[in-house]
Amino acid sequence: MDLIRIYAGESGPQSVAVAQRSILRRVPPDEFTVPPRVQDGIRRIFGEALSADEVVRRILADVRQRGDAAVCEWTARIDGVDLAACGLGIEVARAEWEAARRQIAPELVAALELAAERIRAFHARQPISSWIDVRMGGTLGQMVRPLQRVGLYVPGGTAPLPSSLLMAAIPARVAGVEEIVATTPPRRTDGHISPVILAAAAIAGVDRVFAIGGAQAIGALAYGTATVPRVDKICGPGNLFVTLAKRQVFGLVGIDGLPGPTETLIIADDAADAENVAADLLAQAEHDVMASAILLTPSRALAERVQAAVAAQFARLDRQEIMSVSLAERSGIIVVRDVAEALRLANEYAPEHLCLDVRDPWRYLDQVRNAGGVFLGGISCEVLGDYVSGPSHIMPTAGTARFASPQNVADFVKITSVVGLNEEQASRLAPAAARIAEAEELTAHAAAARRRAVAAMASDSDKGEGM
């Protein structure tokens, strides 16, 4: 059986229509099928079968009530790490950060620093500023203020992801956030955080790091505990339980979004390098069993070359168990009529990553309406965007690119409107405000507006008498 299917034609079990009903179909987070292994874990931990949403609700309620004690207990029960038994606390000591930076290879430190500088330079160009205009009948404007404290969730389940920490922390620092705290799951082996994540935290300017993950970490950030400070906003991707926890605490704190499994959609024509396209599909598939790696191409010959290249390269790679599930269940190669149809399907799908591996990709850029990021040409591969290109790789998933943006400086500031009308403008505007208020049957609003008109007219009368 082929590792990745080819969908082609108008009918049949592997047609384009079937692909639209399966791998191109969007499923909301609360409808994701929980894998049997995870269901077994829920029954073992809770003693009964529960939905993922109920699991999260119970954990959050416990953290809200018992704070650090609940956080430690759930970390032991779910992550298999007893922080106290390991001689560790919830917070990672600064000395451990410094040791981690010395521990990892100098070449890796240099790579992280290069990535950090490019991320910082890109986000420093985003124009978000305060303004005041005194020419609009008094003074009108806006004040842009950074958030006071932000919590970053850094995935660390199947592999440490220092890049995700850089991609969230650096835009926050550019925005001027006063305090940045990060949470990431401890390693099952020793309860410590991966040294590369701690090194990234130091490079990105994070203030504090906590060795907790999952829904209990989101609860600690949202409610605050004796150790973990309550934050104003929670950002960063995570697994299904993290995403559902963010949704449940939204309103008490801000969130950046509800990221689903990562996804890449490649549009390639017959000029594309099949080996490169296969490498990009496999790079996406190794993230997670829920990841989606999809190719749209008008070339059946390219589709078959890519399918063969995926099989050949797969045999030489690690994480085969994860990739095989992603490729079989959530990925595929779809043979379309032409690039125009591929773009139509891509805009409907609204992918996190859209790669235009076609002749003259700039020709098609204006036709892209919905995508978290667009990668132009086979040389601008999405993997470079994951690490060192500059824009944050935390991008909208699950079709939310229809209305959402990649993580950026705007995620870490808030706008306060400024209104300072003069008497003349207040007098002119008050009657209109009063009429609208009366139409809404809000007589107190109308009366308050009319008082401003009367006050302004009296002031004008006083000025006239003194002349």
Give the angle subtended at the CA of 386 by the CAs of 384 and 388, to the nearest 5°: 55
User: What is the DSSP-derived secondary structure letter of residue 43?
Assistant: H
208 sits in which H/E element: strand 208-210
Cβ neighbours for 176, distance < 8 A, ≥ 6 positions apart:
146, 412, 413
Q: Are 261 and 347 in contact (CB under 8 A)?
A: no
353 is catalytic: yes
- Candidates 352, 382, 393, 423; catalytic one: 352
Compute the distance between CA of residue 59 and CA of residue 77 in angstroms, rounded to an integer.
11
Closest CA to 56 of 258, 221, 243: 243
Closest CA to 350 of 317, 313, 395, 311: 395
Compute the distance between CA of residue 451 and CA of residue 449 in angstroms, rounded to an integer.
5
End-to-end CA separation in angstroms for the chain = 96
Cα atoms in the Cβ-side hemisphere of radius 13 Å centred on 387? 13
Compute the distance between CA of residue 14 and CA of residue 161 in angstroms, rounded to an integer.
35
| 3-state class (DSSP) for residue 133 | strand
Which of 422-438 are b and which e, b meaning 16 or more Cβ less than 10 Å from the residue's Cβ? ebebbbebbeebbeebe
Strands 292-297 and 332-335: parallel
- Candidates 123, 287, 353, 393; catalytic one: 353
- In 10 A of CB 57, how many CB atoms? 16
Which of 167-204 are b and which e, b meaning 16 or more Cβ less than 10 Å from the residue's Cβ? bbbbbbbbbebebbbbbbbbbeeebbbbbbbbbbbbbb
Strands 413-421 and 138-146: antiparallel
Closest CA to 261 of 353, 381, 151, 390: 353
User: What is the DSSP-derived secondary structure letter of residue 315?
Assistant: T
| 3-state class (DSSP) for residue 284 | helix
Compute the distance between CA of residue 277 and CA of residue 134 in angstroms, rounded to an integer.
55
Closest CA to 374 of 283, 294, 266: 266
Closest CA to 361 of 265, 278, 273, 267: 267
**So which residues are the catalytic ones?**
352-353
